Amino acid sequence: MEDLTMAQAYRLFGHVGLFSIFGAILFGFRHDPGVPWGNLLFGAALYGAWAAVHLAMTSDRFKRAVYGDRVGSPIERRVYIVVTVATWLAVLWYHPPLPGPALDVPGPLRFAATVGFLMALFAFFEGMTFAAIDGLIAAPGTEVAYSHGAETKLLTEGRYAAVRHPMYQAAILAGLCSLIIHANPAQLFWVLMIGGTFIGFIPLEEARLLAKRGDEYRAYMSRTPWRLVRAVW
């Protein structure tokens, strides 16, 4: 019974962590026109620390040093999920309010942006189920899914035939919609930070896919040359 309870707690923690990214963007980040501009530096340092831990834990060097032969195992994925989610929630808890004037956006525009955000959220999770997310977070009783290796099917059809990273595209679109819902510098700052992380992660992810998939991924890159935005990049 204890093991079952711990498994349920981990599963809930992982799901909440994933959805909290979009929840934070939709809810909006702390904004106060009267606080000092130095808060920007603290906010950037806080997010930078989170991103550094995230990137370090996904590096092959870190994985080999810490896990050795257990690289790719459920325990590796679970440790990564726990650390990433815990530190992300800490960022949300401790991030300071940011200064600057806010725009008064008309209600109909904010409503349209909210609809756009929900459509982008749906696009991000298109085709996924809670069971699929269990595989992503390596919930007990499931097999590890969404790895760079051949054990995970390479998606090349549908939206993946238009751009190679449609999930990141959807996340960035959600962030852009949120700038109309919360038209202030704090929201702009955090959308730029989060969106920049997605964009910066693309070359790293593709390097790992090339290392694991080789010619299979090169052929996909040839058929679908655009990473994020067609005819742009």
Is 23 inside a domain boundary?
yes
**Residue 31 has what DSSP assignment?**
B
User: Which of 56-60, 149-153, 171-175, 193-197 shows the lowest per-residue confidence on average (mean pLDDT)?
Assistant: 149-153
CA 172 to chain centre: 10
> 123: closest CA among 152, 151, 163, 85?
163
Is 35 inside a domain boundary?
yes
At CA 134, angle to CA 130 and CA 139, rounded to 5?
A: 145
Whether 172 contacts 233, CB under 8 Å: no
> 97: closest CA among 37, 48, 45, 49?
37
Q: For residues 86 and 138, which has the higher predicted lDDT (pLDDT)?
A: 86
Is 59 inside a domain boundary?
yes
pLDDT digits (tens, 9 = 90+) for 92-138: 999 999 999 999 999 999 999 999 999 999 999 988 889 989 988 98
pLDDT digits (tens, 9 = 90+) for 156-193: 898 999 999 999 999 999 999 999 999 999 999 999 99
Domain span at residue 185 reads 2-223
Is 213 inside a domain boundary?
yes
- What would the two tokens of residue 46 be? 């806080």
- CATH number where 93 lies: 1.20.120
User: Which of 113-122, 148-157, 193-202 shows the lowest per-residue confidence on average (mean pLDDT)?
Assistant: 148-157
Is 230 inside a domain boundary?
no
Using CA atoms, how far apart are residues 97 and 111, in angstroms rounded to an integer? 24
> 12: closest CA among 171, 121, 133, 142?
133
Is 194 inside a domain boundary?
yes
pTM: 0.90
Q: How many domains does the chain have?
A: 1
Is 233 inside a domain boundary?
no
- What would the two tokens of residue 86 be? 């815990």
- Give Dmax (Cα) for the chain: 57
Mean pLDDT across 186-215: 93
Is 231 inside a domain boundary?
no
